[in-house]
Amino acid sequence: MAITTSPLAQPRFWQFKSLRAAAFGLIVSFAAPALADNLPEVQRLIKQGQYAQALEKVDAWLASRPKDAQGRFLKGVIYTEMNKPTEAIGMFTRLSEDYPELPEPYNNLAVLYAQQQQYDKARTALEMAIRTHPSYAVAYENLGDVYAKLASQAYDKALQLDGSNAGTQNKLSLIRDLISTSGKVNAKPAADAATTTATATPPVKVADARPTPVAPTANIVSTTPGAAAPETSVAPTTPPVKPVEPKPEPAPAVSNAANEAISRAIDAWADAWQKKNMKGYLAAYAPDFRPPNGASRKDWEADRTKRISGKSGKISVVIEDLQITVDGDSATAKFRQHYKAGSLNTSATKTMTLVRAGSRWLIKEENAR
C-alpha cells in the first residue's frame, strides 16, 4: 500500500481500454462476428487468473492476425501476470515500435521497468507515452511516481541514505491490482468504437475513442502546485505538448445526489483514518470488501488497526482531485491521497469501487499505488 511504502508502491497497470475499443471497431468492420468474442474471453480468463488458457486463446487469435495490436497487448498483459517480465517487455517493446502512437504499451513497459527498478527506462517510456498523448492521465500519474522514485534514488546517493527496498513487495499487489481494476475500467461501451475510423493500421486517433480524460488528473504534473509549469514541464528542445481538450462529462441529475453521498463517505473515511477511529474506518468498507493482496478480511483488519491506531503521532489524510463515476448502485472514485504520519509523507492515486448500501456508500475495492 502506498501509505506504508514508497510512493511508487503500485503503479497502475493500465488495461487497453481505448485500443480495445478501437480493435472492436476493426472487428466490427472486418472480422467475422464469431471471432469478436475471442478477446473478451481472453480478458475473462486473465481476470480469473487462468493465464495459461488466456495465453492459448490469445495465441490462437494472433495466429491469424499476428500484427493485431489488441491481441499482442493482451499477450503482454498475460506475460506480466505470469511474472515473465522479459517476455512482457519484449511484447510491449515491439508493440510500441510498431505502433509508436499508442501510449498504453509505453505505460505498461514503464510499469515493468519500474518493477525491475529500472526507473530511468520507466521514465523514458512514460515520457514517450505522454509525448504521444499529452493528456494521458495514467502515464502522468505513473510518471509522477517514477520521478519520486528517481528523486529518492538521487537523494540516496546525495545523502548516502539506505535506499528503500519497496519495489519487490509491491509486485504482487500490482498484479492483483490489474485484475481487479481491469474489468471495471475497461467497461467501455462498444458504441464508441464505431467512431473510430477503420484503417489498415491501428488508429492513430485512438485517444479520441477512449473515455473522456479527467481534466485535473490529466494534467496532474502541470497543475500540482509547485510542479513544473507547462512551459517548463517539456524540454525546450521538444515542442510544447497541448493537453487534449477534455470533453465535458455529461452529468446526469440522478448521480448528483449519489456523487455527494460518495464524496461524504470518502471524507468520513479519511476523517476516521486521521482520527484513528478504527470503528468508523472499518465501517466504511463493505462486508464483501476485497482486501488487497488476497489477504483475508480478518488479517487485513488487523493490519489496518496496527497501522492506524497503532501509529504514534498525528496522521493526516488529505483527499484531492476527487473524481466520481456512478453506475447505478456501483461507483468508482478516484482521487489523490496525501498521507502524512511522522516521517512518512506520501502522495498516491487511489481508486475505489463503492457500492450502495441503503443510503450509504461502502468501499468494495481499494487500489492504491
Partner 1 sequence: MKVDRRLFPIIGLLLCLAATPHLYRRLQPETQPVDTAVSAAPMPENSPALPAEPPPILSDAGPEAQLVGIFNAIEANRLNQALELTENLLRQYPNYRLANLIKGDLLLARTRPIAAFGALANAPADKVADLRAEAIVRLKAYRERPEDRFIPRYLLQMQPDQRFAVVVDMQRSRLYLYANDRDNGGRPRFVADYYVTQGKLGADKYAEGDKKTPIGVYHVTANLPRQKLADLYGNGAFPINYPNEWDRQRGRRGSGIWLHGTPSNTFARPPRASDGCVVLTNQDLDAVAKNLQVGLTPVIISPSVEWLSLDDWARERDELNAAIDAWRHDWESRDTERYLKHYSPRFKSGSQDFAAFAAQKRQVMAAKEWIKVATDNLSVFRNPGPDEVVVVTFDQDYRSNNLNNRMKKRQYWQRENGQWQIIYEGSA
Task: Provide the binding-site residues for partner 1, judged by CB under 8 A.
Answer: 7, 143-145, 147-148, 150-155, 157-161, 221-230, 232-236, 343-345, 347
By beta-carbon proximity to partner 1, the closer residue of 74 and 234 is: 234
Q: How far apart are CA 239 and CA 248, in angstroms?
A: 27
Give me the long-range contacts of 313-319 (CB less than 8 A, separation at least 24): 313/341, 313/342, 314/340, 314/341, 315/273, 315/274, 315/276, 315/339, 315/340, 315/341, 316/274, 316/340, 316/341, 317/270, 317/273, 317/274, 318/270, 319/266, 319/267, 319/270
What is the chain's length? 369
By beta-carbon proximity to partner 1, the closer residue of 252 and 313 is: 313
DSSP string, 42-106: HHHHHHTT-HHHHHHHHHHHHHH-TT-HHHHHHHHHHHHHTT-HHHHHHHHHHHHHH-TT-HHHH
By beta-carbon proximity to partner 1, the closer residue of 148 and 198 is: 148
Q: How near is the Cβ of 117 to partner 1 at its closest, in Å? A: 15
Q: How near is the Cβ of 169 to partner 1 at its closest, in Å? A: 21
Chain centroid to Cα 264, Å, comes to 24
Q: How near is the Cβ of 12 to partner 1 at its closest, in Å? A: 15
Neighbours of 246 (CB within 10 A): 15
Q: How near is the Cβ of 350 to partner 1 at its closest, in Å? A: 16
By beta-carbon proximity to partner 1, the closer residue of 158 and 253 is: 158
By beta-carbon proximity to partner 1, the closer residue of 113 and 147 is: 147
By beta-carbon proximity to partner 1, the closer residue of 154 and 357 is: 154
Q: How near is the Cβ of 141 to partner 1 at its closest, in Å? A: 10
Q: How near is the Cβ of 121 to partner 1 at its closest, in Å? A: 14
Beta bridge partners of 337: 319, 348
By beta-carbon proximity to partner 1, the closer residue of 25 and 144 is: 144
Q: How far apart are CA 169 and CA 166, in angstroms?
A: 6
In the chain, DSSP assigns E strands to: 315-327, 330-341, 344-357, 360-368
Q: How far apart are CA 16 and CA 14, in angstroms?
A: 6
Cell of 205: 486517433
By beta-carbon proximity to partner 1, the closer residue of 219 and 274 is: 219
Q: How near is the Cβ of 230 to partner 1 at its closest, in Å? A: 5
By beta-carbon proximity to partner 1, the closer residue of 8 and 39 is: 8
Whole-Å CA distances, 28 to 62, 72, 121, 181, 183: 17, 19, 37, 26, 21
Query: In the sheet that 344-357 helps form, which strands lie side by side, from edge to edge?
Result: 315-327, 330-341, 344-357, 360-368
Q: How near is the Cβ of 151 to partner 1 at its closest, in Å? A: 4
Q: How near is the Cβ of 237 to partner 1 at its closest, in Å? A: 9
